[in-house]
Structure 1
Amino acid sequence: MKLSLLLFFTCFLYLQILFSQDVKKQVEVGIIEHLDEFVPSDIQLMNEDGKMVNLKDQIDKPTALIFVYFRCPGICTPLMDGVADVIQKLDMKLAEDYQVITIGFDPREKIDLAIKKKKNYQSLITNQNTDDGWRFFTSDSANIARVTEALGFKYIKAGTDFTHAATVIVLSPNGKITRYLNGTYFLPFEFKLALIEASKGHSGPTMNKILQFCYSYDPVGKAYVLNVTRLSGTLILSLGLIVFLVLIIRKPRKRNYPKN
């Protein structure tokens, strides 16, 4: 019995190591949650007026922050579409109750391109103050590297493009990271709750690690796809453990019968 338990815990430990290693392999592209940490006070960005401003100074209310690059052929547009959609559906006033900040993480892109992208979304959102409530910024490579690292946004260059994740990083009025909303579609209730919690400085975890384990980013299709190999391998190993335990538990014991 002791040997059986030892084998079980050895296999369980192996599963844990496998899980953690797979997540770490994907860290170079994805999100590392930095909940309860603060936006650095030395990040300089260029605003829509062409002036360099401090990011921390721009955050004075619950803030939904997204990283994109404006020539992105993949998930950046669906991400911004999702943000625009939830802004219209939300029963909160943009620029008063909360704000959205978009930071272009490609240092080759200038503020003119960011402004052009903003105008595209302003034409879609007619019921909110996007002039003051949804602001776009660009910056140089040094500042971009610092802010993406501080907020846990991991990406790699792929030719002239980038491989990266899609997420909304929710910040409190004093710049504390309170939540990550992964994906490109957001329920108004979920988005509102995240902003309300941020206004109180309350943070909450996501299912980020499980999502990273189950999905891999396909740079060809520019989308997240289910990692069937990893999931099936884990499932087979788990089922094997269950069968092993059942056989051990139900193993018949020898009975000693009294001699006549």
Structure 2
Amino acid sequence: MIGRVLFLALALLAAAPSEAGLTPAELDAVGARPGASAVVPADLGLTDGTRPAVLVFTDYDCPEICDPLVAQIAASLAGTGLDAGEDYRLAVVGIDPRDDAAARDAFLGGTLGAAREAAVAPLLSSEDLTRLTRALGFTYAFDAERDRFAHPVASYVLTPEGRVSRLFPGLFTDPADMRRALVQAGRGTVGGLAERLALTCYGFDPLTGRYSLAIERVLTIVSLLFAATFGGALALAHWRERRRGGA
């Protein structure tokens, strides 16, 4: 799992700049702005009333950024020490209603690995997706010219009843912070919410047709931090295994 995540993080660093077709005004409307009373509609099956949940919006056809980002979130959850499926659930929601079960399963299999069994990823209709995104203040834009979505990079931590407890940038979340947020959400605590997440998965500058310098720097720094953290964890696990073998 760690090896796959590290590979995806390095792939993110190597991603080539791409052209963009959305205007600055369209990109400015993209954001994650959950209200103080934001709650997930109960009939969508994303929460179960007994466990806190982490909800992530993603584009199943975005290997350059969405793949490594979801993998990083899964790795952060794995590092909490909490039991997936028992202590929390992971809800992954695709924002492209054109995607089918095959696209979803291929994406989740490549990003979650064994954690896929603890994840719930329903294929929502356009109407249900609209209800969910409106309830959570999640806005995105579709670039028809490039067939790509601009959407916030974010993960929502939900109480068992579906209320938004915390909102994390969906890059690298420290496992200790993630654990604390899940424990608090499990108690029904609602923490401070970011007013808006400006960093988007799309992350392009329409004027130059390239990733903006700020986006490139943020993604590079976060990916390096992530690689260093989990690379260190992998080295420590290998050292402990060798030590046990030599005992």
Q: TM-score range by the shorter chain?
A: 0.5 to 0.7
Query: Residue 221 of structure 1: CA displacement?
Result: 4.4
Give aligned pairs, total: 184
- 2:138 is matched with 153
Deviations 1:134-157, CA, capped at 9 Å, x for gaps: 222222211111111111111000
- 1:182 is matched with 169
Identity %: 25
Taking CA–CA contacts closer than 8 Å with sequence separation of 6 or more, which of the two structures ends up with the larger relative contact order?
A: 2
Is the CA contact 1:40–1:147 (under 8 Å) kept in the aligned structure 2?
yes
- 2:179 is matched with 192
Question: For the residues of structure 1 that align with 2:130 and 2:198, how far apart are their CA atoms?
Answer: 22
- 1:218 is matched with 204
Query: Residue 162 of structure 1: CA displacement?
Result: 0.6
Give the letter for the 2:154 counterpart: T
Correspondence 1:143 to 2:132: no
SS in 1 for 2:57: strand
Query: Residue 83 of structure 1: CA displacement?
Result: 1.1
Deviations 1:35-80, CA, capped at 9 Å, x for gaps: 332212344xxxxxxxxxx445x45311000000100244312321
Question: For the residues of structure 2 that align with 1:74 and 1:154, how far apart are their CA atoms?
Answer: 21
Q: CA distance change for structure 1 residues 134 and 55 in 2, over 3 Å: closer, same or farther? A: closer
- 2:37 is matched with 36
TM-score by length of 1: 0.63
Out of 76, 79, 98, the position equivalent to 2:69 is: 79
Q: CA distance change for structure 1 residues 200 and 223 in 2, over 3 Å: closer, same or farther? A: farther
Correspondence 1:47-196 to 2 at 5 A: 54-56=45-47, 58=48, 60-123=50-113, 125=114, 130-131=116-117, 133-159=118-144, 160-196=147-183
Deviations 1:110-150, CA, capped at 9 Å, x for gaps: 12211122222343x5xxx541x222222221111111111
Correspondence 1:203 to 2:190: yes
Deviations 1:181-234, CA, capped at 9 Å, x for gaps: 01311100111111011011111124444x649xx94255457827xxxxxxxx
Give the letter for the 1:116 counterpart: A
Q: CA RMSD in A?
A: 2.7
Q: Which runs of 5+ in 2 are unaligned?
A: 1-24, 216-247
TM-score by length of 2: 0.66
Larger Rg: 1
SS in 2 for 1:225: helix
Question: For the residues of structure 2 that align with 1:121 and 1:218, how far apart are their CA atoms?
Answer: 23
SS in 1 for 2:214: strand
Q: CA distance change for structure 1 residues 25 and 139 in 2, over 3 Å: closer, same or farther? A: closer
Question: For the residues of structure 2 that align with 1:87 and 1:40, how far apart are their CA atoms?
Answer: 24
Give the letter for the 1:84 counterpart: A
Moved more, 111-120 or 64-73: 111-120
